[in-house]
C-alpha cells in the first residue's frame, strides 16, 4: 500500500469511526447505554424511546447483540443456582460466621418453651 493510499485509508477510517460516533450520539445510544438497558430490562419494562434506540444499536453492533444473549444465558444460570443449591453458596461469603454461645443458649430456651419442655438451667 502506498503512503498516499495508507494516508487516505487512515483518513477514511477516522472519518468512518467519527461518523459512527456522530450516528451513535444522534441516535442516543453507546454500547454502555445499550448494555445498561439490557440489565434494566430485567427490573422494569423499557419505554418506547428506549426500545427504539436499542433496536437501532442492536442492528449496528454485533458485539452488543452477542453480549445481550450472554447476559440472558447468565441470568438463566443464576436462577438455576437458586433452584439447585440451598446452602453451600453462603459459606465462602461468610466463612467464619457462627452463632454466638449466647445465641445458641437463647435459641435452646425458645425451642424448649415452644415444645413445653421445662427450661434448662
Q: According to the binding rule CB under 8 A, does residue 80 interact with another protein?
A: yes
For 92, residues 6+ apart whose C-beta sits below 8 A from its C-beta are none
- Number of residues forming the site for another protein (CB under 8 A): 53
Which set of grid coordinates corresponds to residue 15?
A: 472519518
> Closest distance between another protein and the C-beta of residue 55, in Å?
18
Selected from 6, 15, 39, 47, the binder of another protein by CB under 8 A is 39
Segment near another protein (CB under 8 A); pick from 5-13, 28-36, 47-55: 28-36
What ranges in the chain are assigned the alpha helix state H?
3-27, 31-40, 48-60, 62-84, 101-114
Which set of grid coordinates corresponds to residue 69?
A: 444473549
Q: According to the binding rule CB under 8 A, does residue 6 interact with another protein?
A: no
Amino acid at each position: 500500500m502506498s503512503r498516499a493510499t495508507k494516508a487516505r485509508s487512515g483518513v477514511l477510517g477516522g472519518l468512518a469511526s467519527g461518523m459512527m460516533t456522530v450516528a451513535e450520539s444522534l441516535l442516543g445510544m453507546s454500547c454502555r447505554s445499550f448494555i445498561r438497558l439490557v440489565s434494566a430490562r430485567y427490573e422494569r419494562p423499557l419505554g418506547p424511546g428506549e426500545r427504539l434506540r436499542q433496536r437501532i444499536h442492536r442492528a449496528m453492533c454485533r458485539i452488543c447483540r452477542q453480549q445481550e444473549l450472554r447476559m440472558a444465558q447468565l441470568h438463566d444460570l443464576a436462577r438455576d443456582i437458586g433452584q439447585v443449591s440451598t446452602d453451600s453458596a453462603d459459606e465462602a461469603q461468610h466463612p467464619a460466621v457462627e452463632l454466638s454461645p449466647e445465641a445458641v443458649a437463647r435459641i435452646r430456651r425458645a425451642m424448649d418453651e415452644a415444645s413445653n419442655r421445662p427450661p434448662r438451667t
